[in-house]
Amino acid sequence: MSIGSRSKVWTREGLKPINIINEGDLVLTHQLRFRPVLHTFKEYYGGNIIQIGKSKEHKYVLITPEHLVCSISHTHMLERWGSRSHHWRRAEELEIGTLVTCYHPTENKEEVSKITFIENKEYKDYVYDLLVKDDFIYVTEICTVQGRNI
């Protein structure tokens, strides 16, 4: 379960490409708190990767098909925001129109965003993942994803 190097993660200093994040850096979690990265993972990946986001040219994340993304449905919206429970879906299960949780930096709050672009593509390059203290979850530019939990 990993993310491509062009994908950006929210850190204490703002958005950073995942491939330059180091152990000890503070990343934003789904609890809207910054937690330290305990370990970074880098591995070569050859296969299908999914590009999801708002457009092909602008904000997007490259993610392996089995990586878990926090999503919600209209029917679960009130329950989700009331209980703070997360509905995790594999990236390969996402569709255009899927609602995902993301971060609104100017208001410093979690918000709902709609996936408007999905493309499956062949990928041969390094992918990255993070082990984040306590929460095991980190926020990318587009969505909230579950990191490694070892």
The pLDDT of residue 80 is: 44
What pTM value is reported for the model?
Answer: 0.85
d(CA 91, CA 70): 10
CB 64 within 8 A of CB 46: no
Q: Which domain holds residue 70?
A: 3-146
Question: Could you tell me the CATH number of the domain that includes residue 81?
Answer: 2.170.16.10
Q: What is the pLDDT of residues 69-116, one digit of tens each?
A: 988 865 444 444 444 455 889 999 999 998 888 888 888 888 888 899
Q: What is the pLDDT of residues 3-39, one digit of tens each?
A: 888 899 999 999 999 999 999 999 999 888 999 999 9
d(CA 2, CA 48): 12
- In total, how many domains does the chain have? 1
Q: How far lies 95's CA from each of 20, 71, 120, 144, in Å?
A: 29, 11, 12, 16
Pairing of β 99-104 and β 8-11 = unpaired
d(CA 13, CA 27): 9
